[in-house]
Structure 1
């Protein structure tokens, strides 16, 4: 291989360890309710102060030692995936990775088999997952939800508002976070559901001098067709009038300007008020999903271009109906859809089943949004601030915290402060004691010791010494934890010290799998001009 440099053991382990520890040592101080800040001298943006492990890792694009850089970039990728997939948990993953990787290297240096060790470490990960599941419970009340949100956003005002929002909209409620209209946080709740898109022309608002058009007891026509033919529009108007409707929400891909002019004539307005709107999505799956959901909600039948259908084929039976509808320049919505309640319940059930079975994050996110809209609970959160940068940063934090909080409402919570992970130690120690295979016993011992790392780090980051409290925590009842705020050993649940179950489980699993794989690397190869990656 031309222009390459190859590194073998024992130098491989030394290089990886140096880079891994250098990267992780920048992340670990951010763990806990009082995170330390990491300062970045960004020449383009000025000084940045960060406490999010995933963002910190992403900002570090290279370290000077090229050999050590391979270890740093390996763990950087793992941390960014944790951040992207879970929304939080990067600091926990960093602490666990460091503890497992460094202990694993010592064992391998003493003659242990890396591949066998990896196998048993991954078996241990399954034991930890099962032990965490035993401790899981559902969280209720806006105060507890706000406390959970604060562990992610470290913004009491934002956390309080997110707690209120999710207490109201529930597990599958739809939340949209937007840039604020002032320095404050504001929220608004909607009956029914809404979609991006809005009116096809701003002229419709200037005619009435308002920012939004409201419809009552309206018919709804649903299609992905572009209306370009006058005869098609006249046919649709005739069908709507025959149905007895006085108002029509016309959902189309687009409509020609001269047809919009026709809708504004007195001859049409005397018979029926027509409001044409468009969907603000452009990729196939999202369009199909929106048309299907609107049809179920309103009891209409969508006219779909891909099926060869045309506007001329529409009958009265194809129209949907809703008690209320509205539209502005960016959104349209409806409430009180007249669809069959049994079909709606079945449709929601099918969407939920698809959500539970899917492992694709984009698919799950789309299904989550659909379920929230179908169930009729929607909220808007406007995030404000003093500067554009502050608003943008706060909005990103709000979106990440909302994602974590939804995970808590959906998947439950665990006793926080590292105590849930620590409680897994007993099961691992029992497995180690029962094993007669060197690598198996060592793997469980490594994991058992690593289970203390999060709580030790939390206490150190809070300015105390772990040895002062660890014995008391271990001897206490299940869920006993050191509360950083009160500086007391307390019951985690009673004190509201909680962690999102899915985040903790995901961080633990990814840290163990990534560390165990890194332990099997024997050779490093440098290419003079390596391929560039954009992830992360």
Structure 2
């Protein structure tokens, strides 16, 4: 296929214009006073959002060279969202500021490789400075403020802070839309997205669920066949006053029918679910359940067969609840020492794991083993409002969790201003022109989030920046639009979101600055049926 090419200044200009379009689209959403963006959908209702990565995912430009700039800036927002869960808009604004400021330097003949090299070194100094400024949250008001700022809603921020304070940052917290007011429902134990294998097992016909107290748990990653072993297990549990939950990879049709019959004929419930997760994560999840309940995992790799199951291989829990989509194991009877050891092992794996998907999976396992779960119902009068508020709640939950785990810095863009002030005070001997230019570019870019925040609050950006430069803690409280001591007002950002936003913005800016050629496919596809169609379009093919 033929290609279109752009070179040097034209290539960088197209990328910069694309990044700037995306930055303009998300700029007005920054902070608790940010506005909304309405996204059209080919089918269904429009999406209303103020989430940077959601907006970025919807933007495609007609100019294919500029669209490459949008894609690069989108990657900064996506990576920030993957690691920090918040700060996506900030990362786009920082990337845009770095790129636009660098354009002027490149037009004056500054070498792009030298410029990006100095930006890299100075950026590392800034990131180290920010990490050194962090401190731990020690009170409830600070946690509430972090969540409220990220959500743009003080009531929702208080609810999220209440849940995290009660259950801890390692707890399993779900978000769900609801037509009523914001509320929280606390649930204990390990929860998985697997429901019963047959609705005939549900003893509660109104709720369509199985609620078992004093439950025995059989755990295997093998396919469960029918046979006398199931009947013997059910009888052993019934005699001892225990219900039975079977967790297996799958079930034969005959086994399902046998389990339904055992459930209907016995005094105690018998339930069955398919094993949660997939691949290696399934094995780890089943091992976690075995440790949590004190049972034996009848694993395929260890040569076990499901027909070998007996009373000694069962785990136990105070309560098990199974519905169409989920099952929850409450207060497992496993050894506290074994559970604590398993959690410590997962924490050690987390400390050396960088891949976002694997980190998410490890965090899920850790929260389940903690035995604390909750569902936060986010209210809204319409489906569109519910989706928009759910996005805000997700940002707030991620920001508050990161604040508890990693610590916080002063919010409202002030920490970036303090980092810029530190940069301006650096006097490297015999500094080259490109280093001085990089220092200027980075300082100006670090001011951009605060300028955008001030615009959204109706304040003068220049005055706001100067006030922040002149103090160690005074800045703009975006919740009320007033200049206050941010430490006393509990205006904080998680150190994770602040550092990740800048690191990802620097990464994208370096790629754009060093770009010298852009190559895209041509779009020479024409519609043969365009124009008057005397014969259904055949005349366009010479069939008049």
Q: Pick from 155, 178, 202: which aligns with 2:176?
A: 178
Q: Which residue of 1 aligns with 2:331?
A: 336
What residue is the counterpart of 1:257 in the other structure? 256
Distance 1:280 1:392 in 2: 30
Match of 2:529 in 1: none
Deviations 1:42-67 (A, max 9, x none): 5644655432222222221114x344
Pick from 286, 308, 324: which aligns with 2:319? 324
1:422 aligns with 2:417: yes
Within the candidate set 471, 495, 499, 2:493 is matched to: 499
Tell me how many residue pairs correspond in the alignment.
521
2:484 and 2:496 map into 1 onto residues whose CA distance is 23
1:248 and 1:484, CA in 2 relative to 1: closer, same or farther beyond 3 A?
Answer: closer
Kindly state the Cα deviation for residue 315 of structure 1 after the two structures are TM-superposed.
Answer: 4.0
Q: Are residue 226 (structure 1) and residue 223 (structure 2) matched?
A: yes
The separation in 1 between residues aligned to 2:310 and 2:46, in whole angstroms, is 63
| Secondary structure of the structure 2 residue equivalent to 1:494 | coil
Q: 1:248 aligns with which of 228, 244, 250?
A: 244
Map residues 91-490 of structure 1 onto 2, 5 A cutoff.
Answer: 91-180=89-178, 182-206=179-203, 211-237=208-234, 240=237, 244=240, 246-255=242-251, 256-264=255-263, 266=265, 269=266, 273-279=268-274, 281-476=276-471, 478-490=472-484
Q: Describe the SS at the equivalent of 2:515.
A: coil
Change (3 A) 1:291 1:523: same
Given the two structures, how large is their TM-score scaled by the length of structure 2?
Answer: 0.88
Q: CA deviation at 1:118?
A: 1.0
Is there any run of 5+ residues in structure 2 with no aligned partner, and where? 525-544
CA–CA separation in structure 2 for the residues paired with 1:42 and 1:317: 56
Which residue of the partner structure matches residue 533 of structure 1? none
- CA shift for structure 1 position 235: 4.2
Distance 1:465 1:261, change over 3 A: closer
Supply the distance in 2 between the matched residues of 1:105 and 1:488 (Cα, whole angstroms): 35
Residue aligned with 2:458, SS: coil
Aligned to 2:20: 21
Unaligned 5+ runs, structure 1? 531-536
Take 2:390 and 2:478, find their aligned partners in 1: how far apart are those partners?
27
Structure 2 CA distance, aligned partners of 1:20 and 1:250? 53
After superposition, the Cα gap between the structure-2 partners of 1:213 and 1:59, relative to the gap in structure 1 and judged at 3 Å, is closer
How far did residue 187 of structure 1 move? 1.3
For the residue of structure 1 that corresponds to 2:386, the secondary structure is helix
The one of 516, 519, 523 equivalent to 2:513 is 519
**Residues 12-31 of structure 1, C-alpha deviations (whole Å, 9 max, x = no match):** 23323322222222222222
* 1:325 match: secondary structure: strand
Deviation (angstroms), 1:274? 4.4
The SS at the match of 1:519 is helix
Following the alignment from structure 2 to structure 1, what is the Cα–Cα distance between the partners of residues 460 and 7?
Answer: 39
The alpha carbon displacement at 1:91 in A equals 2.2
Q: Structure 1, residues 487-534: CA drift from partner, whole Å, max 9, x if none?
A: 43221121121112111110011111211221011112232159xxxx
The change in CA–CA distance for 1:430 and 1:259 in structure 2 (over 3 A counts) is same
Alignment RMSD: 2.6
- Which stretch has the larger CA shift, 208-217 or 413-422? 208-217
Question: Deviation at 1:409?
Answer: 1.7
Moved more, 336-345 or 35-44: 35-44
Distance 1:427 1:435, change over 3 A: farther
Deviation at 1:200, TM superposition (A): 2.9
Q: Is the 8 A contact 1:433 1:441 kept in 2?
A: no
CA distance in 2, matches of 1:484, 1:206: 52
* Corresponding residue SS for 2:510: helix
Shift of 1:467: 3.0
Which secondary structure does the structure 2 equivalent of 1:187 belong to? strand
Contact preservation (8 Å) 2:203, 2:209: no
The answer on whether the counterparts of 1:215 and 1:326 sit within 8 Å (CA) in structure 2 is yes
Deviations 1:182-229 (A, max 9, x none): 432231112333222233332233477664433333332212233322
Equivalent pair of 1:38/1:51 in contact (CA under 8 Å): yes
| 1:345 CA drift (Å) | 1.1
